[in-house]
Amino acid sequence: MTTTADDPRRFLHPDTIARISRLDLRAKQVVEGFITGMHRSPFFGHSVEFVQHRDYTPGDDIRHLDWKVWSKTDKFYIKQYEAETNLRCQLVVDVSNSMHYGTGALNKYNYACTVGACLAYLLLHQQDACGLITFDDDVREVIPARSAHTHLDAIVKAMHVSTPKDKTDIERIIRRVAENIPMRSMVVLISDIFVDRDPFFRAMEMLRHGRHDILVFHIMDDDELKFPFSGTTRFEDLEGPDMITCDPRALRDGYIEVVEEYLTEVRRGCVRKGIDYQMISTTDYLDAALSKFLHHREAMAKAPAKSQGSM
């Protein structure tokens, strides 16, 4: 498959998809319609117990519309049964200016969107519902969570941006995200997290308050981690007007120390809040990084079941 910079499907790398397609993305806790660590039967039937109604969304199977409710309310509702398996996942992808920095084959934005596209493919492939919210200085695109295989095209197209903007108030953006998620879900944040730590953790606490299962993929370029520059260099702020010209060798040790401290605090803060955190460099092989992370999720999902069985 040949893709160009203007083709949103460039985020779907066939080799990566092939390697992760046998993995499951599993929740560690009970979220809407999903039982910890395992799926129930993916099929509906009259022999299973009715649980609740939910609003109809385009792409749902019309065989499960409740016509009696429609006749009384003139509104469409889907009947949900105990056998329904759909995990509802909302991908939250940073498409701001800072994400467009990069020196390798993929900049942070392209890498993040590839992560999002692969996870969307995986979720839809296992008959789960996936949605998308993109943001820069504000929420840019909102794609509701659906489980139809054709929904993948809408997700990858929504991640394609032409003019990225600055990223500002992470709390305000996450508040908008929380308002657009109507029920407990898995929320996957994919970002370089170029924000102050306190607002970031307050934003994550906002999602935790909604009892969402939160995953954070922290995308960094290798230059940001190793600061390999030499000679007089001009550095420009991608999210502001500031710039500085200096000898980077004089700054390297102090820069590396600050970055390592920042990454440690972000990781520890996420762990304290029960958030799964993974820092990924744009030089990492994506299929290997995702496989390692998803296997870790699977192991964590099984752990509570073992402890409960021993009680």
Q: Report yes or no: 222 and 282 within 8 Å, Cβ to Cβ.
A: yes
* Boundaries of every domain in the chain: 8-30+87-309, 50-81
Q: Which two tokens stand for residue 243?
A: 């710039």
Looking from the CA of 260 toward its CB, the CA atoms found within 13 Å total: 8
Quote the pLDDT of residue 131.
93
Contacts of 49-57 with C-beta under 8 Å, sequence gap 24+, read 49/81, 49/82, 50/79, 50/80, 50/81, 50/82, 51/80, 51/81, 51/82, 51/84, 52/80, 53/77, 53/78, 53/79, 53/80, 54/78, 54/80, 57/144, 57/146
Count CB atoms within 10 A of the CB of residue 238: 15
Quote the pLDDT of residue 104.
72
Q: Report yes or no: 42 and 29 within 8 Å, Cβ to Cβ.
A: no
Quote the pLDDT of residue 47.
40
Quote the pLDDT of residue 288.
86
CATH of 8-30+87-309, one of 3.40.50.410, 1.20.1250.20, 3.30.70.260, 3.40.228.10: 3.40.50.410
In 95-202, at which residue ranges do the beta strands (DSSP E only) sit?
A: 129-135, 139-146, 186-191
pLDDT, tens digit only, all 311 positions of the chain: 445 556 666 787 677 777 666 666 766 554 544 433 334 433 344 344 555 677 777 767 777 788 888 888 888 888 765 444 468 899 999 999 889 888 777 899 999 999 999 999 888 888 888 999 999 888 889 999 988 878 999 999 998 876 777 766 899 999 988 888 878 889 999 999 988 899 999 999 999 988 899 999 999 998 888 877 666 666 665 555 666 766 667 678 888 898 999 999 999 999 999 999 999 999 998 888 888 888 777 776 666 544 444 33
From the list 116, 131, 109, the residue with the least C-alpha distance to 186 is 131
Quote the pLDDT of residue 81.
56
Quote the pLDDT of residue 92.
96
